[in-house]
């Protein structure tokens, strides 16, 4: 099995003092193998996410973690969507969470879910949309990197109060290794830059 037994947290790690580790309290008293911890990043907007999510090895679901009290507050069943979370991205604008899914055991990609961060309910499922999502710092755009046999497709979606709206996609033969967002020179939004593994070329997207 992959994973560690539990999560250890050091509060105020940047301060010069004697530190103690804190272990989150499980919901049912059972400590399963932790596969991943998904933490919301700091974004342009003043909104602060109060919760993170924890996935357990080969479990199709998530555990919601209160970041202030370090307690699991809810379990989220994703079995109906055949989803073991592979990666997650957070949008502060409308409180949405994008989940990249895979199958248990095989690791086969099973698409993308969009969750409401307040209710933890799944608001949409796109089994055909494969790849890792990236959210712009202003929370207005999500770009999914779909790696196929014939190249890479960058799928751009707008984040709205009704969920995600498809804008456009771009196909490239570049073997993309990483993406980053940078403030646009012409608009109040962000542009995307993608680097390649084996070339010095940079892919630029005006979002």
User: Among residues 173, 166, 172, 161, which one has the least CA distance to residue 118?
Assistant: 161
Is residue 132 a part of any domain in this protein?
yes
Cα pseudo-dihedral 26, 28, 31, 37, rounded to 10: -40
Q: Please report the sign of the dihedral spanned by the C-alpha atoms of residue 65, residue 85, residue 176, residue 92.
A: negative
Output the CA–CA distances (angstroms, integers) from residue 113 to 13, 27, 119, 143, in the order listed: 33, 24, 14, 14
Is residue 99 a part of any domain in this protein?
yes
How many other β-carbons are positioned within 10 Å of the β-carbon of residue 31? Answer: 13
Is residue 4 a part of any domain in this protein?
no
Say how far apart CA 194 and CA 203 lie, in whole Å. Answer: 5
Is residue 70 a part of any domain in this protein?
yes
Provide the terminal-to-terminal Cα distance of the chain, rounded to the nearest Å: 41
Is residue 3 a part of any domain in this protein?
no
Say how far apart CA 204 and CA 92 lie, in whole Å. Answer: 25
The tens place of each residue's pLDDT in the chain, 207 residues long, gives 454 555 555 555 555 666 455 555 555 555 567 888 898 877 665 667 789 999 988 889 999 988 888 888 899 999 999 999 999 999 988 999 999 999 998 999 999 999 999 999 999 999 999 999 999 999 999 999 999 888 899 999 999 988 999 999 999 999 998 899 999 888 888 999 999 888 888 999 988
Is residue 115 a part of any domain in this protein?
yes
Is residue 2 a part of any domain in this protein?
no
Say how far apart CA 114 and CA 125 lie, in whole Å. Answer: 6
Look up the domain containing 132 and give its range.
9-206
Is residue 143 a part of any domain in this protein?
yes
Q: In this structure, are strands 61-66 and 122-126 parallel, antiparallel, or unpaired?
A: unpaired
* CATH number where 37 lies: 2.130.10.10
51 alpha-carbon distance from chain centroid: 13
Residue 123, classed as helix, strand or coil, is strand
Report field, pTM of the whole predicted structure over 0.85: no
Number of structural domains (the chain) is 1
Radius of gyration of the CA atoms of the chain, in A: 18
């Amino acid at each position: 099995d992959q994973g560690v037994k539990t999560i250890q947290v050091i509060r105020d790690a940047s301060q010069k003092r004697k530190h103690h580790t804190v272990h989150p309290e499980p919901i049912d008293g059972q400590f399963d193998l932790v596969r991943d911890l998904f933490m919301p990043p700091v974004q342009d907007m003043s909104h602060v996410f109060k919760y993170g999510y924890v996935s357990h090895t080969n479990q199709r679901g998530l555990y919601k973690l209160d970041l202030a009290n370090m307690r699991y507050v809810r379990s989220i069943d994703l079995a109906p969507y055949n989803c073991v979370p592979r990666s997650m991205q957070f949008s502060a604008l409308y409180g949405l969470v994008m989940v990249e899914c895979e199958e248990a055991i095989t690791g086969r990609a099973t698409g993308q879910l969009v969750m409401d961060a307040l209710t933890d309910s799944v608001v949409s499922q796109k089994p055909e949309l494969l790849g890792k999502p990236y959210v712009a710092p202003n929370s207005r755009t999500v770009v999914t990197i779909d790696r196929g046999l014939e190249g890479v497709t960058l799928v751009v979606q707008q984040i709205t109060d009704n969920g995600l709206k498809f804008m456009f996609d771009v196909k490239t033969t570049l073997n993309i290794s990483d993406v980053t967002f940078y403030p646009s020179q012409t608009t109040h939004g962000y542009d995307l830059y993608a680097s390649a593994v084996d070339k010095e070329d940079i892919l630029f997207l005006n979002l």
